[in-house]
Structure 1
Amino acid sequence: MEDSAFPALRIEGHSDERFTAVRDAFEANFRERGELGAAVSVRVGDEVVVDLWGGWADPGRTRPWERDTLVNVWSTTKGPTALCAHLLVDRGLLDLDAPVAAYWPEFAAGGKSAVLVRHLLSHRAGLAGLREPHSAAQLYDWKLTTARLAAMEPWWEPGTQSGYHALTYGFLIGEVIRRITGVLPGEFLQQEITGPLGIDFTIGLPEKESARAAELVHAQDPADGASLMAQLPPVVLAALANPAVGAAEANSSEWRAAEIPAANGHGTARAVCALYGILARRGLCGDRRVLSPEAAERVREGQGACRDLVLGAGFAQDTEVGLGLWLSGGNASYGPNPRALGHDGFGGSCGLADPEADLSLGYVMNRMGPHIADDPRKMALIEAVYSSL
């Protein structure tokens, strides 16, 4: 493909003939929506019907985006982290209705003895962000971050409402996983899911893979960004800006070496599609069963629709979180099926699973838009996928 604005742009990979609309939308993202480098992968059943990549892995446009280019996908990481928890539920090692303190005794401090495991998965634990200042360097310290979460008091009565746990989600679920298995969630994911299935996705990024990593480019901050931030409620600031992290942090070796199971997963679109495809295929990946059908269905067990206490203003309608992922609902965030589910990553990336359509999608990119969810590039791709079915 050639374009006057992007004369050297090439789109590579393949798309089935009936999914030409997806290729068209992917190309339009470069022409019309500021895409720099990106990839999209779609599966229907166990067949990969779209696998496209193109653009550039760096802002200087010196490294083409390749078939195996990895990129930090921010909160799209929460899907694989939730899979780890549900694998433990499936094995009878984790009870969703048990108090978190049954696995993590220190967590009972601060009036949290009645907080349930399902509250962690559904962003209802009231721990959307730390109350005390927490730097990026401190975020990289697993023991410090989890100790502070265990000691704090909730922002709201746990279980009553959801409020997006942007960074804390991974430490909360991850520490429960660690207490049960003895390993951090990144290692558990590799041992139990991505390693055996050959899925190119890691929490954090091994140094040996750094040459494959795309460089993130942050969205331009609005001129009045500082004044807007000052007007946000304390819980929103705690969730989204304590610490404030963006492309510069995510491109650093310190971020890549850390364990941040809510936000520093690295993978290809193909890998994201395969991981979310486990839910779309009701627990299967190829001919291998990862989760029981009951466990896969449980992930989208709605925990009550409400105006999210952190992200509420960003959606036209109330949203509903299942046990680890968001439901498409009335906002059609993951297509027209309100019971489809998925997760977005800060700046644009997305994983989607629709069990009724036997459909999964992974979309990754490196030029971050200003959206935490429902980036126009992602929405254009989803619309094109469903128009092709």
Structure 2
Amino acid sequence: MPAVHGHCDERFLAVRAAFEANFRERDELGAAVTVLVDGQPVADLWGGWADGARTRAWERDTLVNVWSTGKGPTALCAHILADRGLLDLDAPVAAYWPEFASAGKQGVLVRHLLSHRAGLAGLREPHTLDELYDWELTCARLAATEPWWEPGTRSGYHALTYGFLVGEVVRRVSGLLPGEFLRREVTGPLGIDFTIGLPEADAGRAAELVAPKPDRARRAAVFALMEPVAVASLLNPPSGAAAANTPAWRAAEIPAANGHGTARAVAALYALLAGGGGPESRPVLSEKAAERVREGQGSCRDLVLGAGFEHETEIALGPWLSGPNGSYGPNPRAFGHDGAGGSCGLADPEAGIALGYVMNRMGPLIADDPRKRALIDAVYASL
């Protein structure tokens, strides 16, 4: 059992107990969790190892790739522009990105991009990792491709394409890629330790991601159930811990998948999505804009992830709603986003809660990792 560092208010000792149990019972390697209540940290814990060989301790400022947990900060960029009157979420994407109108996509709205309803969950042609690292090429291919389904009618998880689609609209409106927009407008001014990609200067703080233990039988069974659109979304190109540990991955701009940060940073960013602000600062989003973030777009069996879920899910304008299955706690209007393998950010405006959880030993699930669920249960048991 590695030492756990940080602080935890007495009222939230159940969170510390759950965090320790993750190491003892759920094969945690290195991790951190931060819980905010009304913007104040009530738990800020870290422990374990930053590498698979267990030669580097996980420190207070250790960063890690959080995969799709970074979709929340990417969506935040679009919501800031909409809040300023610079972006209309009900406008056609082609109003900002004219080339996007090809292949029958002239009716796709900006809100369809934010809610995974654009029908562009993955590219139809093979797309390599090196090509994924090329922003212009990837966006050009997305603009040219036809949707997999009628846009706006269903959600289908845009695993990698989400960041390019939302991010290119951010770039067309602001002149900045989402990583730079986030740095200038949010994380820089507020001192939030989160970046899209990873600056070379911070490489020494980065934890090594460790792939899930191989389960070939389970993988084959899941693959057999996957529709072509799911294969395109999740496996074109294939990515994983090995790729994410490379300098090339860290140097690229992949807003849907290569955000790097601390648990403290993730909690702070999801608090901002819920209408919170930085220390002694006004909220980043107005009350109306923050409420729009969690505007549900209709529940359904997701066209990409449906085979892996027994229930319908509902995506809002960026995050997923907790819903009846309680993925982000008992409040169905709480919201958040999981990252492949376990990480999570969430916010519950009614309870005044925000949480960030990051780790480096990836589990086999895309969402609802048992370590995350244990921490969320502990938070709500403490209220």
TM-score tier, shorter chain, comes to over 0.9
Task: Give the deviation of 1:227 after TM superposition.
Answer: 5.9
Paired residue for 2:280? 287
C-alpha distance after superposition, 1:78-114 (max 9, x if no partner): 0000100000000101000000000000000110000
Paired residue for 1:385? 379
- Aligned with 2:367 (options 373, 376, 379): 373
Task: Give the deviation of 1:286 after TM superposition.
Answer: 2.9
Residue pair 2:226, 2:307 contacting (<8 A) in 1 also: no
One-letter code of the match for 1:245? S
Secondary structure of the residue that 1:41 maps to in structure 2?
strand
- Aligned with 1:217 (options 210, 215, 218): 210
Change (3 A) 1:226 1:313: closer
Change (3 A) 1:238 1:307: same
Identity among equivalent pairs (%): 74
In structure 1, stretches of 5+ residues that fail to align are 1-5
Task: Give the deviation of 1:39 after TM superposition.
Answer: 0.1
Paired residue for 1:65? 58
Pairwise mapping of residues 1-389 of structure 1 onto structure 2 (< 5 A)? 6=1, 9-224=2-217, 225-226=219-220, 228-280=222-274, 282-288=275-281, 289-389=283-383
Task: Give the deviation of 1:53 after TM superposition.
Answer: 0.1
In structure 2, stretches of 5+ residues that fail to align are none
Task: Give the deviation of 1:47 after TM superposition.
Answer: 1.2
Residue pair 1:74, 1:345 contacting (<8 A) in 2 also: yes
TM-score (norm 2): 0.98
Secondary structure of the residue that 1:353 maps to in structure 2?
strand
Q: 2: distance between equivalents of 1:255 and 1:305?
A: 33
Q: 2: distance between equivalents of 1:145 and 1:88?
A: 23
Task: Give the deviation of 1:315 after TM superposition.
Answer: 2.5
**Number of aligned residues:** 381
Q: 2: distance between equivalents of 1:219 and 1:58?
A: 14
Q: 1: distance between equivalents of 2:296 and 2:171?
A: 26
Runs of 4+ in 1 over 3 A off after TM superposition: none
TM-score (norm 1): 0.97
Secondary structure of the residue that 1:89 maps to in structure 2?
helix
Secondary structure of the residue that 1:331 maps to in structure 2?
coil
Residue pair 1:315, 1:331 contacting (<8 A) in 2 also: no
Q: 2: distance between equivalents of 1:65 and 1:147?
A: 40
Q: 2: distance between equivalents of 1:232 and 1:311?
A: 9
Q: 1: distance between equivalents of 2:151 and 2:73?
A: 24
Q: 2: distance between equivalents of 1:369 and 1:95?
A: 38
Residue pair 1:81, 1:261 contacting (<8 A) in 2 also: yes
Residue pair 1:283, 1:293 contacting (<8 A) in 2 also: no
